[in-house]
A and B are shown apart, each in its own frame.
Chain A
Amino acid sequence: MEFNYMIIGFLIIYFLILLFTGFLASKNATSIEDFFLGGRKLDAIMLSFSVSSTGMSGWLALGFAGYAYEKGFQSLWIMVPSATIGILLCYVLISKRIRLYSELTGSITITEIIKKRFYDDNNALTTVFSIILSAAAIIYVSGQLIAIGKLLNILLDWNYHISSIIAAIVMIIYTVLGGFTAVCWTDFIQGALMIAGSFIAGSLAIQYAGGIGSFTQKIVETNQVFPEFAITPFSSFDALIMGISLFIGDGILNWIGQPTLMVRYMASKDTKSLTSAPLITIAIQCILFMGIFIAAIYMRTQFPEPMLLPYSGDTETVLIQFFITMMHPILIGIFVSAILAAVMSTADSLFMMATSVLVNDVYNYFRPRASQKHLILISRLVTVFLGIIAVIISMNKSSVLWSSWLGWTTLGIMGMPVIVGLYWIRATKQGAISGLISGFTVLVFWNIFGLTEKLNIFHALPSCGIAFIVTIVISLFTSKPPDHIAEDLKSIDKLRDKKRNVEVFEVK
């Protein structure tokens, strides 16, 4: 079919560009810091694209689109904070502080920061952190592979399982080749594609609907027949409770606690770029969310029940079906690349994250004299291994939304002790370990017993909240951290006050 060949052609070109970028970047990765932090060279624009690409993923293109299709304006509780307040708080509260602390202590991974901040001499906290982080990364990446499987399955009628495996192979190859620099460059390409795709999708949806006035009229008519498709985020008391827990839990706590994003702040060129980046990132996020939201809502007004959807009753594929139904094959190729971009950029970042944890913090702990070359080799092997596990999990074709949310919230929990530790001198190692374990335990039980549906409270709020509170409470009951921790934190405050706009440290 000509249609299929055009799309496949597009995908091949897209993948070749990614692989070429990975290859180019690999030439520059000569040290372990280059491999993991790209030598700290991200400017505000690169950083913004990287943060958005990493944060959004297939969760946006498939999961969020499906949620917006089903729940209508109830999905604003997710979209509004994730596009605005959550992002701003990430930069204002976390980015500069972690960037300064990482350079001050010479840390290149999040676990190294944890190790130094919480004086983890016996590696107990690092081990707990590493295990939970690797598990989170694998769950999240498997969610991304499910997204690609569903995408290629519906678009090209390819076998779901083979599609996921092909995607995993491409992802592994270019992550293995270039490390962090490759990931950030491909993040940039992918971010640009996502913005273009999302913007055009939203604009076309409004145009097809006959303008904004006609579109809102159709939305109201759909709501009158299907009341669960809300036209306001305040449709009922239950919706309000769920909404508030999504707003705080997913929109704020999950964002500020993301270790994958913390690594990006650490890789920024200087602290100045961290103050201009919020402006760019918020703009990117607004375009991305609005485009997808409008397209998904439009699909609901056109096909008000899932079984009426032209290609599949799986609501997570509404956006893909929007493209197929509405567009020219070349545009479909671009949009599919945009969705793949969203999926791949997050998955590769998480691979990098989990790899860095396992190699730098676990492997290197047992083999401290390993050479840089040896560490890079081991990093590549670990990426391949993690990829294989993620592929195996993705073979069970489940929900992209909930797989991603589970992985994302687990990652969000990891950031809670880090945030407490960066702001509060009194935070102790025992507090951090207890916070991590209790937060993760709450998350697991919340999902096993289906409490999100029963209590109408999204799992991120209790699990991140508990992690945060337990870290503080246990810290109060344990002995104070050593004096040099307090000195480090105080010196960050001094640096921030004195040299706000000056590049504080020399860029390596």
Chain B
Amino acid sequence: MDRVPIGTWLFMLIPALGTYIAAIYYYVNYNE
């Protein structure tokens, strides 16, 4: 391989963003 595959970056980004959005959802919905 001549560069770091895009899947590697997505493997980091998607869980990080997904989890943070879920954490915000949790915070908003349980602190009404």
A residues contacting B by CB (< 8 A) are 73, 76, 79-81, 83-85, 87-88, 91-92, 216, 219-220, 223, 231-234, 272, 275-276, 278-279, 282, 286, 500-501
Contacts and interface: CB of A to CB of B under 8 A. Distances in A.
A234 B5 CA distance: 10
Contacts of A233: 8, 11
Contact of A88 (B5, B8, B22, B32): B22
Interface string B1-32: 11111011001100110111011101100111
Given A80-B11, A85-B19, A282-B23, A276 B31 contact: yes
A275 B26 CA distance: 7
A272 B28 CA distance: 11
A220 B27 CA distance: 40
Contact of B15 (A84, A216, A272, A276): A84
A220 B26 contact: no
Nearest to A73: B8
Please name the 9 residue pairs, one residue from A and one from B, whose CB atoms are nearest each other, closest first: A84-B19, A278-B23, A275-B30, A232-B8, A84-B15, A232-B5, A501-B31, A231-B4, A88-B19
A282 B19 contact: yes
A194 B27 CA distance: 26
Nearest to B24: A279
Contacts of A234: 7
Contacts of A216: 3-4
A72 to B, nearest CB: 10
A85 B1 CA distance: 29
Interface of B: 1-5, 7-8, 11-12, 15-16, 18-20, 22-24, 26-27, 30-32
Contacts of B23: 88, 91, 278-279, 282
B11 A231 contact: no
Given A85-B19, A223-B1, A278-B27, A76 B11 contact: yes
Nearest to B19: A84
15 contacts: A85-B19, A220-B2, A220-B3, A231-B1, A231-B5, A232-B4, A232-B8, A275-B26, A276-B27, A276-B31, A279-B23, A282-B19, A500-B32, A501-B30, A501-B31
Chain B contact residues: over half helix, strand or loop, or mixed? helix
B8 A84 contact: no
B16 A84 contact: yes
Which of A76, A92, A275 has most B Cβ within 10 Å?
A: A275
Given A81-B15, A84-B16, A88-B22, A279 B27 contact: yes
Nearest to A80: B15
A76 B27 contact: no
B4 A219 contact: yes
Given A272-B31, A276-B31, A286 B16 contact: yes
Contact of B20 (A91, A232, A276, A282): A282
Contacts of B26: 88, 91-92, 275, 278
Contacts of A282: 19-20, 23
A369 B31 CA distance: 42
B4 to A, nearest CB: 5
A233 B19 CA distance: 19
Contacts of A91: 23, 26
Contacts of A272: 31
Contacts of B30: 275, 500-501
A76 B15 CA distance: 11
Contacts of A87: 19
Contact of B32 (A79, A279, A501): A501
Given A84-B20, A216-B3, A232-B8, 15 more contacts: A73-B4, A76-B8, A76-B11, A84-B15, A84-B16, A85-B15, A216-B4, A219-B4, A233-B8, A275-B27, A275-B31, A278-B23, A278-B26, A279-B23, A500-B32
Contacts of B5: 231-232
B32 to A, nearest CB: 6
Nearest to A231: B4
Which of A81, A87, A88 has most B Cβ within 10 Å?
A: A88
A255 to B, nearest CB: 13
A87 B24 CA distance: 13
B16 to A, nearest CB: 5
